[in-house]
Structure 1
Amino acid sequence: MSIAETSAEDALVALHTSLDERRRPEEVAHLVLRVVGGQLGLRDRMTLGWAARTAARWNGWSSMSADFARPIGGARQIDAAARLFELPPGGVDPDDPVSLLDFSARLSESLGAVDPARLDFLRDRLNREDRAAAGIELSKRQYNRRFRVTQRLLAKADRLAVEQTKRQLTMVARAGFAASIERDAFLADPWAGCFVAYLTAKRKLRREFTLSGRDNPYDDIADLLFRHCTADPTTDWWMIAQAHPTPTVLARLTEAQRGELLGRWWATMRQVAALLKQVWTASEFDRATMIVRRGNDSSTWNLLCGAYNAARAAWLAALDAAGSLGLLQASCPGKAMMLIAADLAAWHRSTGGGLHPDVGVWARLPLPWDVLDGTATCTRADVEAACADGGVDPVTSGWTGPRAPAATGVFRPTPELVHGVSIADPLWASVLRAGGAFSGRVTKDSLEQTPIPGDVVVSELPERDGHIKP
């Protein structure tokens, strides 16, 4: 069923589902129009309607995924283990790492493993005498096969837990706690639900390769929806605060609600900081520039930085709303800087620019995870001194308080991107992506020998010898 044929009730359910997806904002705007379009004035309806109509570009098709990558469960490993151990199917949740660990522990015990969480093929297998003493009547070959399957099941449980955590933190970085909003609460307040769904869709947009910075996700459509929420005395501000924890929203919560959010964001900061420390320790970063080096896992690092900085900004906003910014005098963990691509950094330098001023502040302060675990001390005075050295306003830049709100953005249709480069249409985007264009790797021979028409790449790019290179 197309969106145009969707009922208002079904459209609202689809909006709730979109909280855990990556739909284009124009698709979400179309669903919003189905839900609240009849309650809008002419001007607001025209604003929302124009955005909704752009969802039909290219017959609604896009070359980009409408979801964040979802971890693949352990169904294949469970089936292999069940066949080899001759166990009945069922009883194990393939998408739950804990369930997989419990299952692997039971299998490990049947193999005589001393520690079910450690299965080293060289050290932990039983020899013939030990198997006989444990009552295991299996040949060496059959025992080894079962041992390897159990090993793979245990490894899958560990990988699944890591990937699920990564996806969860991706959602936190892009949409706060919106993905955890209960369906019943969402359906009970259509205006608040529409605002949260649209704003989070804007926040989930992919970054473009540009010098002009990112558009403010809070645009004219988000603003008109927010104004309707403000005018309604029954608005569920607690739900809105999950995705939009600004001072204006937090001021409408009860003290208990602000305290709960403060605790959740603090816990998230500590969780992400511990993961950042692991990546930092295992890598070699240039802290002074934060330009990517060969071997850096920039994807994982930037994902974690996004989640940490989003949690930190929301924590500061909650502190401010509670009148407790004075606590920063005792401890004020700093931001975490994302890694920047070397070609983008070079482009900045070629146009007379340089590193973002925040990078200098970050380099002057103790590492945030050391502050959070008590290894190092960083107070508000320390942050203000580092900001002064770097020529940064500590308050408006978000180092010691909620960041100053940017000007309300203007909706524009979602561009088709290939590694951040805007492409004229999804068909060309698919071709270029398949050929490895703009990926930083050597392109395939067929693409290298085929010049890209000048009107295919929409965004401005640095040139090499007068020509844009894929």
Structure 2
Amino acid sequence: MSAAELSVDDALTALHASLDERRRPEVVAHLVWRAVGGQLRLRERRVLGRVARTASRWNGWSSMSGDFSRPVGGGRQVQAAVRLFELPPVDVDTDDPASLLDFSAQLSESLGAIDARRLDFLRDRLNREARTAAGIELSKRQYNRRFRVTQRVAAKADRLETERTKRELTLVARAGFAAGIERDAFVADPWAGCFVAYLSAKRKLRREFTLSGRENPYDEIADLLFRRCVDNPHTDWWMIAQVWPSPQVLSELSEARRGELLGRWWATMRQVAGLLKRVWSASEFDRATMIVRRGNDSSTWNLLCGAFNTARAAWINTLEASGSTGLLEASCPGKAMTLIAADLAAWHRSTGGGLHPDMGVWARLPLPWDVLDGVAACTRADVAAACVEAGVDPVSSGWVRARPAGAVGAFRPTPELVHGVSIADPVWASVLRADGVFSGKPAKDGREHHRLPAGIVISELPERGGQAPK
């Protein structure tokens, strides 16, 4: 069924599903039109209708995925284990790490292992005498094969848990706790639901390769829907606060709700800080510049930084709304800085710019996870002093206060991006992506990338040695 044929209930269901996806804002706007279009005023219909119509560009097709990468379950490993152990059909949720680990424990028990996580191939296998004593009547070869497949099930459980956590934190970094909003609550308040779905879609947009910074996700459509929420005396502000913890939204919550939200953001900040510490300890970063070096896992690091900074900003917002900013006088962890590509850093320098001013603040402060662990002290006064030394306004930059709201943005159709570069249409984008253009790697057949025809790339590109990339 196409979006144009959806009923109001179906449109709301699709909007709720989009909270866990990465649909283009114009597609979400079209669903909003189907859900509440009949209740809009004339001016609102014109504004929303103009945006919703852009969903049909290129017949609604895009070269970019409409979802974040989802972890692959352990079905293949479980099937291999069932076949090798000659088991009857098993009741294992192959998408649940805990269920996979329980299954691995059952397998390891039959192999004489005490702990499913202790499956070192050199240390934990039983020799012939130990197998005989345990009543295991298997040849060495068959025992080894079963031991290895049990290892793979346990290892898959660990990888699946890691990948699920990374995806959850990706959603937190982009849209707060939107993915955890219950369907019944979402459908019960269509205006709040539509606002949450649209703003989430805007915040999930991919980063464009540009020197001008990110656009404000709170645009004219978000503002239209938010004003409807303000006019509704029964608005579910708690649902909106999961995604948009602005001062106005938080002021509508009860003290108990603000306290609950404060605790959730603090717990998220602590969780992500622990993961950042692990990556930091296992890598070599240039803290002064944060330019990517060979061997740096920039994808994981930048994902974690995004989640940490989102949680930190929301935590400070909630502290202010609760009148508890005095806590920052005792402990005020700084932001975490993302890694930057070397060519983008060079582009900044070639245009007369340099490192982002926040980098100087980051370099002057204790690492945020050390502050949260109590290993290092860092107060709001310390952060403010570091901002002054680095030439950064501590308030407008969001280092010590909630960042002030920016101007309402204008809607712009989602560009087709290939590694952050804007491309004229999705067909060209698919061709360039398949050929590895802008990836920083050689063409897949080993040849040099050809210079692109004029008009395909519609954004500026950094230059290397005075020559635009080929």
Aligned-residue offset at 1:464: 4.4
What is the distance in 1 between the residues matched to 2:78 and 2:239? 38
Distance 1:253 1:447 in 2: 60
After TM superposition, give the deviation of residue 274 of structure 1 in Å.
Answer: 0.2
Q: Deviations over 1:83-117 (max 9, x none)?
A: 11122223111011011111101111110013321
SS of the residue corresponding to residue 30 of structure 2 reads: helix
The aligned counterpart of 1:375 is 375
Match of 1:304 in 2: 304
5+ unaligned residues in a row in structure 2: which ranges?
Answer: none
Shift of 1:201: 0.1
- Which stretch of structure 1 is more off in the superposition, 183-192 or 393-402? 393-402
Structure 2 distance, partners of 1:385, 1:162, is 37
Please state whether the residue corresponding to 1:337 is helix, strand or coil. Answer: coil
* Equivalent pair of 1:435/1:447 in contact (CA under 8 Å): no
Structure 2 residue aligned with 1:399: 399
Alignment check: 8 A CA contact 1:192 1:236 kept: yes
> Which residue is 1:230 aligned to?
230
Match in the other structure for 1:278: 278
Deviation at 1:237, TM superposition (A): 0.2
Tell me the secondary structure at the aligned position of residue 417 of structure 1: strand
What letter matches 2:148 in structure 1? Answer: R
1:90 and 1:16 map into 2 onto residues whose CA distance is: 33
Which amino acid is the alignment partner of residue 214 of structure 1?
R
Aligned to 1:454: 454
Q: What does 1:9-158 correspond to in 2, within 5 Å?
A: 9-158=9-158
For residue 257 of structure 2, what is the aligned residue in structure 1? 257
Tell me which residue corresponds to 1:209.
209
Q: Within 2, Cα distance between the matches of 1:392 and 1:420? A: 27
Structure 2 Cα separation of the partners of residues 369 and 180 of structure 1: 26
Contact 2:331 2:380 in 1 (8 A): yes
Asked whether the equivalents of residues 334 and 365 of structure 2 are also in contact (C-alpha less than 8 Å), the reply is yes
SS in 1 for 2:242: helix
Residue 422 of structure 1: SS of its match in structure 2? strand
Change in 2 beyond 3 A, CA 1:284/1:464: closer
Q: TM-score, normalised by structure 1?
A: 0.98
Q: What percentage of aligned pairs have identical amino acids?
A: 77
**2:219 partner amino acid:** D
Code of the residue aligned with 2:210 in structure 1: it is T
Q: Is the 8 A contact 2:171 2:177 kept in 1?
A: yes
Q: Which amino acid aligns with 1:159?
A: R
- Is 1:182 aligned to residue 163 of structure 2? no
- Quote the Cα distance in structure 1 between the aligned partners of 2:53 and 2:186: 25
Q: Which amino acid aligns with 2:423?
A: I
1:366 corresponds to: 366
User: Which amino acid in 1 is paired with 2:62?
Assistant: S
SS in 1 for 2:369: helix
Q: State the Cα distance separating 1:465 from its structure 2 match.
A: 6.3
RMSD over aligned Cα atoms: 1.1
The residue identity in structure 2 corresponding to 1:299 is: S
User: How far does residue 466 in structure 1 lie from its aligned partner after superposition?
Assistant: 6.0
What is the CA distance between 1:298 and its match in structure 2? 0.4
Matching residue's letter, 2:55: A
Match of residue 247 from structure 2: 247
Q: Contact 2:202–2:217 (CA<8 Å) still a contact in 1?
A: yes
1:426 aligns with 2:426: yes
Equivalent-residue separation in structure 2 for 1:378 and 1:446 (angstroms)? 51
User: Structure 1: any 5+ residue segments left out of the alignment?
Assistant: none
Identify the residue that residue 168 of structure 1 maps to in structure 2.
168
Report the Cα distance in structure 2 between the residues aligned to 1:427 and 1:447, rounded to whole angstroms: 22
CA displacement, residues 177-210 of structure 1 (integer Å, 9 cap, x when unaligned): 0000000000000000000000000000000000
- Give, in whole Å, the separation in 2 of the partners of 1:448 and 1:151: 42
Question: Over residues 296-323 of structure 1, what are the superposed CA-to-partner deviations in whole Å (9 max), with x where a residue is unaligned?
Answer: 1000000000000000000000000000
Aligned mates of 1:306, 1:465 — CA distance in 2: 32
The structure 1 segments of at least 4 consecutive aligned residues displaced by more than 6 Å after TM superposition are none
Which residue number corresponds to residue 355 of structure 1? Answer: 355
In 1: Cα distance, 2:461 partner to 2:449 partner: 20
| Residues 79 and 89, structure 1, Cα contact 8 Å, conserved in 2 | no
Q: Is the 8 A contact 2:343 2:464 kept in 1?
A: no
SS at match of 2:422: strand
Q: Secondary structure at the match of 1:243?
A: coil
Q: Secondary structure at the match of 1:399?
A: coil
1:141 Cα deviation (Å)?
1.0
* Contact 2:347 2:463 (8 Å CA) reproduced: no
What is the CA distance between 1:256 and its match in structure 2?
0.4
Secondary structure (helix, strand or coil) at the match of 1:370 reads: helix
| In 1, Cα distance between equivalents of 2:454 and 2:466 | 12
Against the structure 1 CA distance between its residues 445 and 454, is the aligned structure 2 distance closer, same or farther, given a 3 Å change threshold? Answer: farther
* Post-superposition offset of 1:402: 0.5
| Alpha-carbon distance in structure 2 between the residues aligned to 1:446 and 1:384 | 51
| Counterpart-to-counterpart distance in 2, 1:136 and 1:186 | 55
- Cα distance in 2 for partners of 1:385, 1:464 equals 37
1:262, 1:315 within 8 Å by CA — same for their partners in 2? yes
* Secondary structure in structure 2 of the residue aligned to 1:287: coil
- What SS does the corresponding residue of 1:448 show, helix, strand or coil? coil
> How far did residue 222 of structure 1 move?
0.2
Is the 8 Å Cα contact of residues 108 and 116 (structure 1) preserved in structure 2?
A: yes
8 Å contact from structure 2 (residues 176, 243) kept in 1: yes
Q: Secondary structure at the match of 2:130?
A: helix
Taking structure 2 as the reference length, what is the TM-score of the superposition? 0.98
Find the aligned partners of 1:465 and 1:332 in 2 and give their Cα distance.
Answer: 42
**Equivalent-residue separation in structure 2 for 1:464 and 1:315 (angstroms):** 41
Q: CA 1:390–1:222 in structure 2 vs 1: closer, same or farther (change >3 Å)? A: same
Match of 1:267 in 2: 267
Contact 2:82–2:88 (8 Å) recurs in 1:
yes
Cα offsets for 1:98-141 (capped at 9, x unmatched): 11111101111110013321101111111111000000011111
Say which is worse superposed, 76-85 or 263-272, in terms of deviation.
Answer: 76-85
> How many residues are treated as equivalent by the alignment?
470
SS in 2 for 1:131: helix
Indicate conservation of the 8 Å contact 2:461/2:469, yes or no.
no
CA–CA distance in structure 2, aligned partners of residues 331 and 465 of structure 1: 46
After superposition, the C-alpha distances for 1:232-274 in whole angstroms (9 at most, x for unaligned) are 0000000000000111100000000000000000000000000
